[in-house]
Copies of this chain bind each other. A is one copy, B any other.
Amino acid sequence: MNYEFKVTKTLSPKQKPDPDTLEFGKVFSDHMFVMNYTEGKGWHDGRVVPYAPITLDPAAAVLHYAQEMFEGLKAYKTKEGKILLFRPDMNAKRTTKTNDRICIPALDEELFVEAIKAVVRVDADWVPEKEGTSLYIRPFIIATEPFLGVRSAKEYLFMVILSPVGAYYKGGLAPTKIFVEDEYVRAAHGGTGYSKIGGNYVAGLKSQEKAHDKGYSQVLWLDGTERKYVEEIGTSNAFFVIDGEVITAPLEGTILPGITRDSVIHLLKDWGITVSERRLTIDEVYEAYDSGKLSEVFASGTAAVISPVGELCWKERKIQIHDGEIGELSQKLYDVLSGIQLGNVEDKFGWTVEV
């Protein structure tokens, strides 16, 4: 395949935002990548164009039946001024699985990565340099065919937009308070939990608002069948350190296979630490706390890399983890992972890709 995309540059570049006050996902760069799919013709006309609104028929399938998927990754600027992506091939592979689950035509995985590189290259000066900042990359596919009926669409758009984002933690890592959700459910076996589709996220809004109202920053999801096993924390994967063993939910179709999760597992194994991908009940977590064996809980994801959990609340019972302080493993994983992403720590697994 030919990955030479036509580039049309903007005639009115925007002013770049102040790196000190950057928020998440509010400001977008000057350009975007766009590619069309039409039945019979396949994916075609990949191009980099000025960031601009899109026009959709009110009957476009995406607006009614949510045939839409997305990905999320970041570009980082190194001290030497190089731009690095972190494991974009993994986002491409996850896209293939997501597309299959919701009947979106497959997208070539190399093309997916090249499209990202193409638009990041054009907007290279939108990758912020200040410590902790990065350029958030949002590839997504939407069904555009105007047709009211429940079947997969015959027309799609694949787009990549870019948003410079600030440090997730102003002033270093900080432990979060997490509410254990035992009413609403995020995913069930046979459902779409492992795929990155809009529908999985909208289902969680209600629960998130409940947690916020109670003073918690995120929810810990339990399994959809028995509300017994721990699954994910908000939009990140969850890890529990019990008696020296690091435990995270297995990939059985209900949780998103996080790229940070996979990287954490690799690092821990490399450090000789026992990691288990296995079912873990919320009861076991509380029992481990009671017996003094629960040493750390943390979440992993692209947005925050590692997010230590300082408090859990389940059925009114609150427990403080690691005295509400950051655990050693959380801190080390954060330092090493963000070090690799920024090119400051040796990338022995070959995870970073230069743009």
Residues of A within 8 A of B (CB): 24-26, 28, 32, 51-59, 62-68, 70, 100-103, 136, 138, 140, 142, 146-152, 159, 161, 163, 183-185, 188-192, 197-206, 208-209, 224-225, 227, 234-235
User: Is B68 a contact of A63 with CB atoms below 8 Å?
Assistant: yes
Considering the complex, give the chain B residue whose CB is closest to the CB of A25: B148
User: Is B51 a contact of A54 with CB atoms below 8 Å?
Assistant: no
User: Is B58 a contact of A56 with CB atoms below 8 Å?
Assistant: no
Query: What 8 additional pairs, Cβ within 8 angstroms, besides A68-B202, A150-B205?
Result: A54-B57, A56-B56, A62-B198, A67-B205, A102-B202, A184-B191, A185-B191, A192-B202
Q: Tell me the complex Cα distance, A259–B151, Å.
A: 22
- How many copies altogether? 2
A2, chain B: closest CB distance, angstroms:
24
Considering the complex, give the chain B residue whose CB is closest to the CB of A186: B191
Residues of B near A56 (CB, < 8 A) are 53-56
User: Is B202 a contact of A67 with CB atoms below 8 Å?
Assistant: yes
Residues of B near A204 (CB, < 8 A) are 150
Q: Tell me the complex Cα distance, A318–B153, Å.
A: 30
> What are 30 A-B pairs with beta-carbon distances under 8 A?
A28-B146, A51-B58, A52-B58, A54-B57, A58-B159, A58-B161, A59-B138, A63-B68, A64-B138, A64-B198, A64-B201, A65-B202, A66-B198, A66-B199, A66-B202, A67-B202, A67-B205, A102-B203, A103-B209, A150-B204, A150-B234, A184-B190, A188-B188, A188-B191, A188-B224, A188-B225, A190-B227, A192-B202, A199-B203, A225-B225
User: Is A198 a contact of B199 with CB atoms below 8 Å?
Assistant: yes
Residues of B near A52 (CB, < 8 A) are 58
Considering the complex, give the chain B residue whose CB is closest to the CB of A191: B185
Which of A140, A188, A189, A191 has the largest count of B CB atoms less than 10 A from its CB?
A: A188
Q: Name the 5 nearest CB pairs between A and B, nearest first.
A: A199-B199, A66-B198, A25-B148, A185-B190, A188-B188
User: Is A208 a contact of B151 with CB atoms below 8 Å?
Assistant: yes
Known: A66-B66, A191-B224. A55 touches B58 (CB 8 A): no
Residues of B near A189 (CB, < 8 A) are 185, 224
Residues of B near A200 (CB, < 8 A) are 199
User: Is A201 a contact of B150 with CB atoms below 8 Å?
Assistant: yes
Residues of B near A55 (CB, < 8 A) are 53-56
User: Is A136 a contact of B148 with CB atoms below 8 Å?
Assistant: yes
User: Is B149 a contact of A24 with CB atoms below 8 Å?
Assistant: yes
- The residue that A66 contacts in the complex, of B25, B151, B183, B201, with Cβ under 8 A, is B201
A144, chain B: closest CB distance, angstroms:
10
Known: A190-B185, A191-B188. A65 touches B201 (CB 8 A): yes
Which of A142, A189, A199 has the largest count of B CB atoms less than 10 A from its CB?
A: A199
Q: Tell me the complex Cα distance, A67–B203, Å.
A: 9
Considering the complex, give the chain B residue whose CB is closest to the CB of A100: B206
Q: Tell me the complex Cα distance, A235–B151, Å.
A: 11
Q: Tell me the complex Cα distance, A67–B51, Å.
A: 23
User: Is B184 a contact of A25 with CB atoms below 8 Å?
Assistant: no
- The residue that A199 contacts in the complex, of B136, B147, B202, with Cβ under 8 A, is B202
User: Is B202 a contact of A148 with CB atoms below 8 Å?
Assistant: no
Q: Tell me the complex Cα distance, A41–B189, Å.
A: 41
User: Is B147 a contact of A26 with CB atoms below 8 Å?
Assistant: yes
Q: Tell me the complex Cα distance, A63–B58, Å.
A: 13
